[in-house]
Amino acid sequence: MRYADAVTSFTSYLDRVRRLSPATVRAYRSDLADLGAVVEDADLREIDLEMLRDWLWRATQRGDARSTLARRAAAARSFFGWAHESDLIAVDPSLRLVTPKRAKTLPVVASKEGMRELLDQHRAAAAEGDPITLRDHAMLEALYGSGMRVSELCGIDIDDVDMHRRTVRVLGKGAKERVVPFGAPAAEAIGAYLTRGRPALITRAENATPALFLGARGSRIGSRTVYALVARVLGPVVGADHVGPHALRHSAATHLLDGGADLRAVQEILGHASLGTTQIYTHVSAERLLAGYRLAHPRA
């Protein structure tokens, strides 16, 4: 099989069998297209370890970050592993492919005080009754109050929210459904939005939609709108120019653990498949503990 045909089959497998998100499938397709620029449309059986090493060497020469190299190598290993299991190749050339380890970086996390001030400001602004301001306040409270992903927030329908139990049903990665709790401030903000904000926005829609959060034209809100909102309001709080909704997820997880939440419980709330993914937030808490120690202890 030719390389291009194999990539098409592989990405179809990721989408239909493994049910990865469209964004993840696009990332695989992009990384494998980068490899295709080197191997061109060679027969899959002709691609060997040296060709893969040459591909990564070229990426290094053009200045790609270590994280990019590691991600692309992982994509290649997944692809050739699939090809070997599918009997398209006799030997997997990626087994001995070595890449630099990713640099360990801690996620951007807002302080509890910073989040309190930010959300208090938006609650005060929402009290004036503007539909967009009511919606924005509700989205910020929902993201921080539940730790959900931006894609999960955008996919929520009205029927997914249980205001009595203060829980919301979301569809996470791999089309896995889970129910996550949210607190009283988020419930108050969502209730105000449903009463005074959403009815005004839905009148602008061309067609009825069950979506909870609506854009300015009355249709289901898109992730770009949420990204723009978070970047605008959270950036000054954390002192970062490029910050997105995931920073609210990071902050929620860190504050839960700081408050004594069980690591397994946080894993369930966030929808992590692996506990190891959740454990990075214990590192964030430890870093804060050490920072406080160094600042305050006379023998630090």
State whether residue 174 is helix, strand or coil: helix
Contacts (Cβ under 8 Å, ≥6 apart) of 189: 123, 126, 134, 137, 138, 140, 141, 142
| 293 in active site | no
Q: What share of the chain is helix, strand, coil (3-state, %, to 5)?
A: 60, 5, 30
Per annotation, catalytic residue among 77, 166, 169, 272: 272
Per annotation, catalytic residue among 3, 144, 193, 281: 281
Per annotation, catalytic residue among 149, 198, 250, 255: 149
Return the residue matching tokens 């419980």: 265
Per annotation, catalytic residue among 169, 220, 246, 288: 246
Per annotation, catalytic residue among 249, 283, 288, 297: 249
Q: Which stretches within the chain are classed as H helix?
A: 3-16, 22-39, 49-61, 66-85, 112-126, 131-146, 150-154, 184-192, 198-202, 223-238, 246-258, 263-270, 275-278, 280-296
Per annotation, catalytic residue among 166, 173, 178, 288: 173
Dihedral angle sign, alpha carbons of residues 139, 144, 149, 150: positive
Distance CA 279, CA 266 (A): 10
| 149 in active site | yes
| 104 in active site | no
| 53 in active site | no
| 84 in active site | no
Distance CA 56, CA 70 (A): 9
Q: Which helix (H) or strand (E) holds 123?
A: helix 112-126
| 281 in active site | yes
Give the catalytic positions in this structure.
149, 173, 246, 249, 272, 281
